[in-house]
Structure 1
Amino acid sequence: MHKTAQALEASFLSEMLKYTGLGENKSEFSGGVGEEQFSSFLREEQAKEMAKAGGIGLAETIFNAMLKRAQNG
């Protein structure tokens, strides 16, 4: 359950990083579909590492909610 909660936090963080513009390079040599796709891979890996390092505490909250629900049946 903890891995699942951590994966959910990583997905959330990845989306948040996307909206901050992380990984976007604006220059005369940037752009294109390939760059957009590969920058998403980078964002996802950065988000996974952030979640592993403790993230924003969302994984722990999700885990506790899942645990409580499992105990209550």
Structure 2
Amino acid sequence: MWTASRAELVSMFVRASLRGQGVGGRLVDAFVEWAKERGATRLHVTAYAANEAALQLYQSRGFAPLSITLANDL
């Protein structure tokens, strides 16, 4: 159960040729502004644990790890 209005960025992809140019940061910033305008007080993003670039991007924008999901492909 969520006790605060929240917004979740489910999936984001930046083409390899555009990485390192600030595109991802601008997209995350736009998401944050969009969510604030709609009254969200908590934001969530998801990234694979192995995607260090995505984790660094989100953390540079103030996001912090909250939970870990473990998977097992049989």
Q: Please say whether Structure 1 and Structure 2 have the same fold, judged by a TM-score greater than 0.5.
A: no
Larger strand share, 1 or 2 = 2
TM-score, normalized by length of structure 1? 0.34
Which of the pair is proportionally richer in helix?
1
- TM-score (norm: length of structure 2): 0.34
Higher relative contact order (CA 8 A, sep 6+): 1
